[in-house]
């Protein structure tokens, strides 16, 4: 079968990693509990930044956020390796900007994710993911972001929400830990 995955905040804990970087860079000590309560994908609010300042901070820090020590979620790498071993096709569909695409692909490989160059897509807008997912004829797709998931909700494929504080309102089936994936598959 064909499995598609978003990367940031679906397979890797990017926003929390960025939250720690913001604390360092802004010389603040905002407790991580505030991160877990965020109702927005954006993380700037607890730091007292406006949305414009938040956007600037994100873009200024992007290189460091993307390519340092962002951890994968528990069991994410092992679960995808197992899917790969079982002969499933694994696709990555990330809206990370074009200029970071190839480095992201290599970074993912270095972390141990099973990556094939021709199954790695990047640089599209959130709203363009749906078209790519349809063209690839994926069987399963996993993402965290309401803006993306809303565009897929009526599609034929099986969509799962990666559980996050800002997507609680979505009614799609949900995955909270990657160790649950094989349970989900056997129940289908
Ligand atoms: Mg994401």
pLDDT in tens, 26-49: 999 999 999 999 999 999 999 999
Other beta carbons within 10 angstroms of residue 135's beta carbon come to 9
Same domain, 38 and 121: no
3-class secondary structure, 41: coil
Residue 94 backbone phi and psi in degrees, to 5: -120, 140
Cα 9 to Cα 16: distance, rounded to the nearest angstrom: 9
Separation of CA 7 and ligand 1 centre (Å): 6
Same domain, 76 and 147: yes
Tally of domains within the chain:
2
Q: How many residues does the chain have?
A: 188
Average pLDDT over all residues of the chain:
95
Same domain, 88 and 50: no
Residue 173 burial (C-beta neighbours within 10 Å; 0-12, 13-18, 19+):
exposed
Separation of CA 10 and ligand 1 centre (Å): 5
Same domain, 110 and 58: no
* Domain membership of residue 26 as a residue range: 14-67
CB 176 within 8 A of CB 163: yes
Residue 93 backbone phi and psi in degrees, to 5: -130, 100
Determine the pLDDT at residue 188.
75
Same domain, 77 and 159: yes
Separation of CA 143 and ligand 1 centre (Å): 6
Q: pLDDT tens across 140-161, in order?
A: 999 999 989 888 866 678 999 9
Separation of CA 182 and ligand 1 centre (Å): 21
Same domain, 181 and 125: yes
Average of per-residue pLDDT across 85-113: 98
Separation of CA 12 and ligand 1 centre (Å): 9
Separation of CA 144 and ligand 1 centre (Å): 5
Separation of CA 26 and ligand 1 centre (Å): 24
* CATH number of the CATH domain containing 76: 3.40.50.1000
Same domain, 95 and 176: yes
More confident residue, 150 or 10: 10
């Amino acid at each position: 079968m064909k499995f598609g995955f978003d990367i940031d905040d679906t397979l890797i804990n990017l926003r929390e990693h960025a939250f720690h970087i913001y604390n360092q860079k802004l010389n603040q000590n905002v407790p991580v509990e505030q991160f877990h309560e965020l109702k927005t994908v954006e993380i700037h609010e607890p730091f007292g930044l406006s949305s414009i300042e938040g956007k600037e901070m994100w873009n200024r820090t992007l290189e460091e956020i993307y390519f340092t020590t962002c951890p994968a979620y528990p069991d994410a790498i092992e679960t995808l390796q197992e899917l790969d071993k079982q002969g499933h096709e694994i696709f990555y569909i990330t809206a990370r900007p074009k200029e970071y695409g190839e480095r992201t692909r290599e970074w993912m490989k270095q972390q141990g994710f099973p990556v094939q160059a021709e199954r790695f897509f990047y640089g599209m807008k959130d709203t363009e993911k749906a078209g790519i997912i349809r063209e690839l004829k994926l069987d399963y797709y996993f993402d965290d972001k309401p803006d993306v998931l809303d565009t897929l909700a009526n599609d034929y494929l099986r969509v799962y929400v990666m559980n996050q504080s800002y997507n609680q309102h979505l009614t799609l089936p949900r995955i909270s830990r990657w160790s649950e994936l094989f349970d989900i598959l056997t129940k289908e």
